[in-house]
Amino acid sequence: RVPVECRDLAVVVARWHGHIHNALSLSAEKLLALLDGCDALRRPDRFIDVLDAAACDHHGRLGFATTPYPPHDYLARALVRLQSIDFAAVAKKHVVNVADAIALAKFNALQTFIDEEQKK
């Protein structure tokens, strides 16, 4: 019997690792879908495990054992950016449409993140 945490990790990795490999070319909308799909904000430790698994997938391919894997750190930084949002303040300011306001705040944070990353 496989522990539930291991099963859940495997399901997330299987579903999202292809998108993780292409993370540096994703739009803010797609990046948000990836982070939300992986439940990165609520399960940040598991998200790092997902990134580790994607990196293992990359390094396990012929000729890639020692090549860098930029999506890992890029997505970890994207998560930090989302974690910096003051969700309570957003909710307090937009009482009527809290979910929409939070989604917009996350999108805007990721768009700014992408813009900054592209300038590096």
Give pLDDT tens digits for 43-96: 999 999 999 999 999 999 999 999 999 999 999 999 999 999 999 999 999 888
Whether 106 and 82 have beta carbons less than 8 Å apart is answered as: yes
pLDDT confidence bin for 34, thresholds 50/70/90: very high
pTM, rounded to two decimals? 0.93
Mapped to the 3 state alphabet, what secondary structure does the chain carry?
A: CCCHHHHHHHHHHHHHHHHHHCHHHCCHHHHHHHHHHCCCCCCHHHHHHHHHHHHHHHHCCCCCCCCCCHHHHHHHHHHHHHHCCCHHHHHHHCCCCHHHHHHHHHHHHHHHHHHHHHHC
Average pLDDT value over all residues in the chain = 96
- Residue span of the structural domain in which 106 resides: 4-119
The domain total for the chain is 1
Percent of the chain with pLDDT over 70: 100
Position 120 pLDDT exceeds 90: no
